[in-house]
Amino acid sequence: MLVKRIIPCLDVKNGITVKGTNFINFRDAGDPVELGFQYSQQGADELVYLDITASHEGRKTFLDLVRRVAANINIPFTVGGGVNELSDVDQLLNAGADKVSVNSAALLNPKLINEIADNFGSQVCVCAIDADLVDNKWKCFLNGGRIPTNRELFEWAEEAEERGAGEILFTSMANDGVKTGYATQPLQILSQKLGIPLIASGGAGTVEHFRDAFLTGKADAALAAGVFHFGEIEIPTLKNYLKEQGIAVR
């Protein structure tokens, strides 16, 4: 049985970790390198660093921060935000990242997924999808949830897998930061349609929510931010709880 992964997510804006609600109303959460080190010590399986305004501001992601993270932590980490061409991926991997996350750029240019997979391997490419329920359909959004598209969550996730993505990171925008639980229904549908790992994101508020993401949503990993940043859930406590629920974790 594959073990389930716990992944703290660090949204970075102007060099500071921030946490928002429904993709807005951000508050500071601390130094991204220091937090990453703490999480690696506490037993996090991986980390995700997202430069949350890079795409919106039309700039590249933060190489200096990536180098500092790589020098200070010993678990795999993914970097996203402003990744829109192969040279970006090459620079991030050379700076120490293990994987890159593509979102807006892949929606605008789906061949980018093929190019990353062909040049660096599928295991490097995480396709992040921010989606919200619009007229009873899960629609994908660009630029950190700012711009709606015509693309539908399930067909886009399947296409991303076909093009070579190694993982899908699905964030339910309506659940983001409100701590009422992950969107388990679309997670369950995605898990049935996909043959690659699925990361749940958006909505963690209690240890039970992680359980539900794994048992009901059938996710392979659960990503969370605020509950970790503000000390509401400790990673060792969470993993002990999941083990008690019969869920395999490291």
> In angstroms, rounded to a whole number, what is the distance separating the alpha carbons of residues 249 and 155?
30
Of the two residues 39 and 13, the one the predictor is more confident about is 39
What are 241's two structure tokens? 């709880």
Residue pointed to by tokens 């329920």: 133
**Comparing 126 with 25, which gets the higher pLDDT?**
126
**What integer pLDDT is reported at residue 61 of this predicted model?**
58
Answer whether 82's CB lies under 8 Å from 59's CB: yes
Copy the structure tokens of residue 157. Answer: 């996730």
Per residue in 195-248, pLDDT (tens digit) is 999 999 999 999 999 999 999 999 999 999 989 988 999 999 999 999 999 999
Domain positions in the chain are 5-244
Tell me, yes or no, if 90 is annotated catalytic.
Answer: no
pTM of the full predicted structure? 0.92
Assign 1 a pLDDT band (cuts: 50, 70, 90): low
Tokens read off for 82:
């402003």
Mean pLDDT of 94-109: 96
Q: What is the pLDDT of residue 23?
A: 43
Q: List residues bridging with 30 in a β-sheet.
A: 17
Per-residue pLDDT, 175? 86
DSSP 8-state symbol, 122: G
Contacts of 31 (CB under 8 A, 6+ apart): 16, 17
Q: For residue range 128-181, what is the model confidence (pLDDT) as tens digits?
A: 999 999 999 999 999 777 888 999 999 999 999 999 999 999 999 988 777 899
Sequence-distant contacts of 18-27: CB under 8 A, at least 24 apart? 18/52, 19/177, 19/225, 19/226, 19/229, 19/230, 20/176, 20/177, 21/176, 21/177, 21/178, 22/145, 22/173, 22/174, 22/176, 22/177, 22/178, 23/130, 23/144, 23/145, 23/146, 23/173, 23/176, 23/177
For residue 7, what pLDDT is reported?
A: 98
How buried is residue 92: exposed, middle or buried, by Cβ count under 10 Å (0-12/13-18/19+)? Answer: buried
pLDDT attached to residue 52: 74
The amino acid at 185: Q
Choose, from 88, 130, 132, 176, the residue flagged as catalytic.
Answer: 130
* Cβ density class 201-239: b for 16+ within 10 Å, e for less: bbbbbbbebbbbbbeebbbbbbbbbbbbbeeebebeebb
What pLDDT was estimated at residue 189?
A: 98
Q: What is the mean predicted confidence (pLDDT) over 95-116?
A: 97
- Confidence at 78, pLDDT banded by 50, 70, 90: very high
Q: pLDDT-derived band of residue 24, with 50, 70 and 90 as boundaries?
A: very low
Query: For 5-244, which CATH class?
Result: alpha beta
Q: How far is CA 161 from the centre of its chain?
A: 16
Cα–Cα distance, 6 to 187 (Å, whole number): 16
As a whole number, mean pLDDT of residues 94-115 equals 97
Strand pairing partners for 51? 12
Judge whether 220 counts as a catalytic residue: no
pLDDT digits over 28-75, tens only? Answer: 667 899 999 999 999 999 999 988 766 555 555 588 899 999 999 999
Q: What pLDDT does 230 receive?
A: 84
Q: What is the pLDDT of residue 166?
A: 98
